[in-house]
Chains A and B, each alone.
Chain A
Amino acid sequence: LAKTTQPISMDSYEGQEVNITCSHNNIATNDYITWYQQFPSQGPRFIIQGYKTKVTNEVASLFIPADRKSSTLSLPRVSLSDTAVYYCLVGLMEYGNKLVFGAGTILRVKS
């Protein structure tokens, strides 16, 4: 499993775009990049997953450069309710595989 490095915490204000970068220098050819979100006292929630270039859904965008050694989760126009821990996970995605969580990035959105 590829080791990931994320900032421990980030602060932002409502309405701003937030970009959280994750480094994964030893990502393997078949590894996917997945982001989860966790609110206090709740289970993690899947946000987005990608393999290369850019993926966008209704919640976020995921940017992956050509070398795939890093990725950036972009949250457009955050609100107070986006305050959570965001986890970057990198690994071979097969059905039934365990998820390996790191410490994540604590995002605090202020008014």
Chain B
Amino acid sequence: EPEVTQTPSHQVTQMGQEVILRCVPISNHLYFYWYRQILGQKVEFLVSFYNNEISEKSEIFDDQFSVERPDGSNFTLKIRSTKLEDSAMYFCASSDASGTYEQYFGPGTRLTVT
């Protein structure tokens, strides 16, 4: 069964540093998303991406965040200058344009900002 993959599984960085979280969505999917989940809290939507541009973004997704699909397979989330409160699990998801509107989530990247 096809799956979304994410790297790294755990990233530790210092406050103020830039991080790039990488995702490989399912190959025939057209819609891509990033969500995050702070430990013990709800899963929160960050951004959706379609046709090489952002479709929607949340209030969390400020100027410090950016997304990119640099090639036909990868989808990245960049945080320019990390803050302590960016520590969370970041999930990438993808979906296609048929069926049940199901979104397929990756295993997540745990980001720890020290």
Contacts and interface: CB of A to CB of B under 8 A. Distances in A.
Interface of A: 32, 34, 38, 41-46, 49, 87, 93-104
A43 B93 contact: yes
Interface of B: 4, 30-31, 33, 35, 42-45, 48, 50, 55-56, 58, 89, 91, 93, 95-97, 100-108, 110
A96 B43 contact: no
Q: Is the interface of A mostly helix, strand, loop or mixed?
A: loop
Q: Is the interface of B mostly helix, strand, loop or mixed?
A: strand
B48 A96 contact: yes
Given A38-B43, A41-B89, A43-B93, A99 B107 contact: no
A98 B60 CA distance: 14
22 contacts: A38-B43, A41-B108, A42-B105, A43-B4, A43-B105, A43-B107, A44-B91, A44-B105, A46-B104, A49-B101, A96-B31, A96-B48, A96-B50, A96-B95, A97-B101, A98-B56, A99-B45, A99-B93, A99-B103, A100-B45, A101-B42, A101-B43
Contact of A43 (B45, B56, B100, B106): B106
